[in-house]
Amino acid sequence: MRSQSFYPRSWNNRDWKSGDIKFDMIFGECAEQKFGAPYLLAHRGDLHAALASAVPDACVRLNHKLVGLDRTGDGVRLAFANGTRAVADAVVGADGVHSAVRDILFDTAPVKFTGRIAYRTTYPATLLCGEKIDDCTKWWGEDRHIVIYYVKPDRSEVYLVTSSPSRIFASSPGRRRATCAIFAHRSRASTRKWAKCSRRAPTCTNG
């Protein structure tokens, strides 16, 4: 994992209007020595590859959608949509916000919209048109924010996520343009290096 990731200098927090630093959380080797673990920036695909590399190929089963699980005297019996069955010593439900494991085990409450929407994307750093960014920065607004950082050691790819208020939970190119316009209007310093090239950035996804 370390070969595909890097230490950011810090988690830099800046004011949306002035660009002034609000506070700076220093990372790097000194933070790893202090806390006993590193803070690394990496692309999610590289993280998945590192995790997969630690598991023998024979242990990986693709195209298995979990539809049921029951505790038995032998362990946990798993049922999949393709008709296969398996018994395991334990089950880890690491399947995200739409977790099938959670829904099977618990009386899951319906999703509740919080009144905020986030757009996120990754894109080549070349789309910054030569502009430079810090390794990792969060721009704090009054009711919205932008987080932007590199996800490759060679700084060739950028991750960006925004959060802003919204009356509805919906995503469309039109809403994306409206959100970009709001940030460009209200976050002068934070969007100067981003909005200039946002027309060529890939479509964002909300989550």
In terms of domains, do 12 and 93 share one? no
In terms of domains, do 176 and 90 share one? no
> For residues 71 and 89, what is the distance between their CA atoms, to the nearest angstrom?
10
In terms of domains, do 130 and 187 share one? yes
What average pLDDT does the structure give for the chain? 83
What percent of the chain shows pLDDT beyond 70?
82
> For residues 205 and 192, what is the distance between their CA atoms, to the nearest angstrom?
22
pLDDT tens by residue, 179-199: 566 555 444 544 555 544 444
21 lies in which domain range?
A: 2-44+113-206
Please name which of 97, 58, 44, 105 lies closest in space to residue 78, comparing C-alpha atoms: 105
In terms of domains, do 101 and 125 share one? no
Per-residue pLDDT at 119: 84
In terms of domains, do 40 and 78 share one? no
Please name which of 122, 144, 147 lies closest in space to residue 134, comparing C-alpha atoms: 147
In terms of domains, do 40 and 75 share one? no
Number of compact structural domains in the chain: 2
Average pLDDT over residues 109-136: 87
Per-residue pLDDT at 201: 52
In terms of domains, do 34 and 132 share one? yes
Determine, yes or no, domain membership for 39.
yes
In terms of domains, do 65 and 125 share one? no
Asked if residue 130 has pLDDT above 50, the reply is yes
Asked if residue 8 has pLDDT above 90, the reply is yes
State how far the alpha carbon of 166 is from the alpha carbons of 116, 147, 182, 183, in Å: 5, 18, 12, 13
In terms of domains, do 39 and 125 share one? yes
In terms of domains, do 144 and 178 share one? yes
Average pLDDT over residues 119-133: 88
Determine, yes or no, domain membership for 183.
yes
In terms of domains, do 83 and 166 share one? no
| pLDDT bracket for residue 128 (50, 70, 90) | confident
* Enzyme catalytic residues: 149
